């Protein structure tokens, strides 16, 4: 009924990691977005959202993250009519400098501050909402990065 997609709002030194999605991508090709991907069928399993996100981040940009914390969830319909549930997690960059590891999915990686993201008129509103919510959690003293 739904594709389940997870995304990581990856923070490092006051900046957020965004990817330029490959033009080859069916949905939102050529746009800046958070790193993430779809959950695969696993039958009975645990921590599927967190494991999927860590796997997708490593596959797409070659880095590791830690300190995953739920940000929000939403739904949308792709251009081809697929219903998607999207879950965003705040993540802290742990190791390895991100790079466009999967050329079929990622054309470039960019680090931007919250204010740069919010001021950019070409970025979608849902990305700005996710960054604002992530920033709020990050500023909360209860968030630990490790």
Q: Which three-class secondary structure state does DSSP give residue 49? A: helix
Q: State the chain's mean pLDDT as an integer.
A: 89
Give me the CATH number covering residue 61: 3.90.79.10
Residue 27 predicted with pLDDT over 50? yes
Establish if 11 belongs to a structural domain.
yes
Residue 115: which domain range?
3-139
Distance, in Å, from the CA atom of 57 to the CA atom of 119, rounded to the nearest integer, reads 26
Choose between 40 and 16: higher pLDDT: 16
Residue 143 predicted with pLDDT over 80? no
Establish if 146 belongs to a structural domain.
no
pLDDT at 42: 77
User: What total number of domains does the chain contain?
Assistant: 1
Choose between 143 and 74: higher pLDDT: 74
Q: Kindly provide the b/e burial profile for residues 19-54, where b requires at least 16 CB atoms within 10 angstroms of the residue's own CB.
A: bbbbeeeebeeebbbbbbbebeeeeeeeeebbebbb
| pTM of the predicted structure, to 2 decimals | 0.89
How large is the average pLDDT for residues 130-136?
Answer: 96
**Percent of the chain residues past pLDDT 70, beyond the cut:** 90
Establish if 65 belongs to a structural domain.
yes
């Amino acid at each position: 009924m739904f594709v389940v997609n997870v995304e990581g709002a990856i923070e490092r030194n006051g900046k957020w990691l965004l990817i330029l999605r490959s033009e080859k991508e069916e949905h939102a090709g050529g746009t800046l977005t958070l790193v993430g991907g779809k959950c695969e069928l696993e039958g009975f399993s645990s921590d599927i959202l967190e494991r999927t996100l860590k796997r997708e981040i490593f596959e797409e940009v070659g880095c590791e993250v830690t300190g995953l914390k739920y940000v929000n969830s939403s739904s949308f319909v792709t251009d081809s009519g697929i219903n998607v549930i999207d879950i965003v997690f705040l993540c802290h960059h742990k190791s390895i400098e991100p790079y466009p590891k999967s050329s079929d999915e990622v054309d470039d990686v960019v680090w931007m501050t919250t204010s740069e993201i919010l001021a950019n008129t070409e970025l979608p509103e849902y990305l700005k909402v996710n960054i604002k919510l992530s920033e709020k959690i990050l500023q909360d003293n209860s968030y630990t990065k490790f």
